[in-house]
Structures are given as structure tokens and as C-alpha cells.
Amino acid sequence: MGEVYRARDNRLGRDLAIKILSHKLSASKKDFERFEREARSASALNHPNIVTIFELGQVDSTYYIAMELVEGELLRDMLAAGSIPLQQAIPIAAQIADGLAKAHEAGVVHRDLKPENLMVSRDGFVKILDFGLAKLAGPDTKQPLDAGTVDTSSTLPGTVMGTVEYMSPEQANALPLDFRSDQFSFGLVLYEMVTGKRTFRRHSNAETLAAILRDDPEPVASLNSQAPAPLCWIIERCLAKNPKDRYSSTRDLTRELASLRDRLSEAPSRHSLTRT
């Protein structure tokens, strides 16, 4: 949606990131509305795991978003070498879920959660980025979004697979969405962190969408024997095809991950968390 630059606020003495909507995109009402939506959605959220928006502005014909500068590594780059150790993956996942829970409680559904939109700082702190597809729903309720607002342009031939790979079944079908769609996307991200495998990736967008709608994922335990049963259950529940079978509140998901994280940090050895 735009180019991002590192900048310096001389008045406040801080570095920040400036996201600029290109002139080509600014001529499109749809692209500008998405750009503006990102700023407004994220700025309404105050949470340590969500990037902070400082300002939405315009200089001549150029629109920009001034935001918190997050230095670190995209989760996508971290996954380039394969799965992430559980001692690192679970705390990362707990932070992502906590940020999502805050957004959902405020009535914001991200709709484009994927490793490319997750930044991990050098000290392991996570920031959720890019609310460009975000949409307001009822606060952490099942009030649906308008199905017509779902951006399905990524299913066209030749477009990036990333967004398609992290769609929920209802999003793939352009059905009404609520916060549980983000839970499915989160489950796909967590599955990839733990197994090093993209859950439903196929040779084409159409095949990927079909897999999301019909196929069951390969069991986590068969790909990572060290994955504890509670973690496998969390992923399985997030990846339920029917939204009703997922978490009734993302805060409940956060609590389960936080409990698992705490148990992992207290465990004298991996055996106290292995499957039984």
C-alpha cells in the first residue's frame, strides 16, 4: 500500500516510520480509503503489541502515516530457515494473540494477519503491523462484517500467494467475517512457526483456497514431535473450519497461550510438556 521510510522528529527527538501512499495509488479512491482505514483502525488501538499511529496527514498531493518505528525482523524472515524453537515461538504467539484480543475487544478485525505483518524486535517483542484491510465489527462479538468488503483481489492469477494462504474459510468464500476469522489466520501462522510448513499451500491460488475449504491440516505432532498437546489443541481449535468451533473470545485464546508459555518457562525439562 505504500513505501515506508525512517524519519526523525526533531521537535520530539525521536525516530519514527513514515508510510507514504504513492501518487499512483492516491489517485484510486479504493486505495486511499484502505490507506486511511489503516491509520484510523490502528490509531484507535492502544496496545504494546500493536504498532502505534501518530498521525495521518497530507503534504500537497502526498498522503502519509507517521507511526512508531519498529526495529527488528519480520516473522516471515525468521521462518525462512524453518520452524521456530518452542521456547521462542510460544511467547511470540502469546503476544500476537494478546494484540489481536485488544483489537477484537475494540471491534477491529485485522483480516490480513500473516508473517509479513508481524515484526519481532531484537528482544523478542512483537508488533502487529498493517491494518490496511481492517474493518470494524461489534466489540469482540459475532457481529459480522459486510461480505462485500472482503478483498478477494489476491485470488486473481499472478497475484501474491501470501494473503490467500492465510485466509479463513469464510474469507475465502467472501462470507461475512468477525473476529474468529483472525483466529483462523493466527492458527495458520502458529502452525507455520511450530512446524516450518505453510498449512494449506498448494501450486495455485485456486488449489490453496480449495485446501483451506476442504482439507484437514497435517497433524502438528507428526511434523514436530516436541509440540506439547496443549499447543496442538490450540492450533486445532483455531483452524476449525466452522467459526463456531473456534474460540468464543480471543481473550480465551490469549489466556491459554499465556498459561502454556508460563508452564514452558517453569518446566525443568521438555518432558513435563510433551504429549501423553
For residue 218, the model assigns a pLDDT of 96
Give the mean model confidence (pLDDT) for residues 235-264. Answer: 97
**Per-residue confidence (pLDDT) for residue 155, from 0 to 100:** 31
Q: Which helix (H) or strand (E) segment is 126 a member of?
A: strand 126-128
The separation between CA 207 and the C-alpha centre of its own chain, rounded to angstroms, equals 22
Q: Give the pLDDT confidence score for residue 136 in this predicted structure.
A: 54
Domain 3-68 indexed as CATH 1.20.58.480 = no
pLDDT tens-digit series, residues 151-170: 333 333 322 233 799 999 99
How far apart (Å, rounded) are the C-alpha atoms in residues 273 and 266?
Answer: 10
Residues 253-261: what's their mean pLDDT? 97
| DSSP assignments along 201-255, one per residue | --SSHHHHHHHHHHPPPPPHHHH-TT--HHHHHHHHHHT-SSGGGS-S-HHHHHH
Region(s) of the chain under CATH 1.10.510.10: 73-273
Q: What is the DSSP letter of 132?
A: T
Single pTM value for the model: 0.83
- Sign of the CA dihedral running 245, 248, 250, 252: negative
Over range 184-192, report the average pLDDT.
98
* 180 vs 160, higher pLDDT: 180
Q: Which of 31, 98, 112, 130 is catalytic?
A: 112
Report whether pLDDT(180) > 80: yes
CB atoms within 10 A of CB 261: 19
Q: Helix, strand, or coil here: 51?
A: coil
Report which of 90, 109, 119 is spatially closest to residue 178, judged by C-alpha positions. Answer: 109
pLDDT in tens, 57-109: 888 878 888 888 988 999 999 999 999 999 999 999 999 999 999 999 988 89
Please confirm, yes or no, whether 112 is among the known catalytic residues. yes
The tens digit of pLDDT for each residue in 10-47 reads: 888 889 999 887 665 555 667 677 767 767 777 778 89
pLDDT over 70 percentage in the chain: 80
Q: Which residues contact 214 (CB under 8 A, 6 or more apart)?
A: none
Which residues make up the CATH 3.30.200.20 domain(s) of the chain?
3-68
Q: pLDDT tens, 193-248?
A: 999 999 999 998 899 999 999 999 999 999 999 999 999 999 999 999 999 999 99
Confidence at residue 86, expressed as pLDDT on a 0 to 100 scale: 96
The yes or no reply on domain 73-273 and CATH 3.10.20.30 is no
Indicate if the pLDDT at residue 144 is higher than 80: no
Q: Which three cell numbers stand for residue 155?
A: 485470488
What pLDDT does 45 receive?
85
Q: Among candidates 16, 1, 125, 18, which has minimal Cα distance to 73?
A: 125
Q: How confident is the model at residue 179 (pLDDT cuts 50, 70, 90)?
A: very high
pLDDT level of residue 117 (50, 70, 90 thresholds): very high
The residue whose grid cell reads 501474491 is: 160
47-56, 112-121, 209-218, 251-260: which has the minimum mean pLDDT?
A: 47-56
Whether 269 has a pLDDT exceeding 80, the answer reads no
Question: DSSP per residue over 54-105, as a string?
Answer: EEEEEETTEEEEEEE---EEEHHHHGGGS---HHHHHHHHHHHHHHHHHHHH
- Does residue 138 surpass a pLDDT of 70? no
